[in-house]
Amino acid sequence: MEAQVVAENLTKIFGEKKAVDQLNLTVNKGEIFGLVGPDGAGKTTTLRMLVSILEPSHGNAWVCGHHTVKDAERIKEKIGYMSQTFGLYQDLSVAENLQFYSDIYCVPKKKQKQRMEELLDATGLAPFKKRLAGRLSGGMKQKLALCCALVHKPEVLFLDEPTNGVDPVSRRDFWRILYTLLSEGVTIIFSTAYLDEAERCSHIALLHEGKLLAEGTPQEVKGLFKKSILEVTTSSSRNAVEILRKEGFENLSIFGEKVHIFTESPKQAATKAREILQASGEEIVSIKAIEPSLEDVFLSVLTEKGDSSHG
Sign of the C-alpha dihedral computed for residues 134, 171, 77 and 86 taken in this order: positive
Residues of the chain with CATH 3.40.50.300: 3-222
At 252-272, the pLDDT tens digits run: 888 878 999 988 888 999 999
CATH 3.30.43.10 is right for the domain spanning 228-291: no
Length of the chain: 311
* pTM over cut 0.85: no
Q: How confident is the model at residue 33 (pLDDT cuts 50, 70, 90)?
A: very high
At 100-142, the pLDDT tens digits run: 999 988 899 899 999 999 999 989 999 999 999 999 988 899 8
Q: Which residues contact 24 (CB under 8 A, 6 or more apart)?
A: 7, 8, 9, 10, 212
* Average pLDDT of the chain, as a whole number: 90
Q: Which of 79-83, 210-214, 223-227, 268-272 has the lowest mean pLDDT?
A: 223-227
Q: Which of 112-116, 145-149, 229-233, 299-303 has the lowest mean pLDDT?
A: 299-303
Nearest to 23 by CA among 202, 200, 205: 205
Residues of the chain with CATH 3.30.70.1510: 228-291
Q: What CATH number does the domain located at 3-222 have?
A: 3.40.50.300
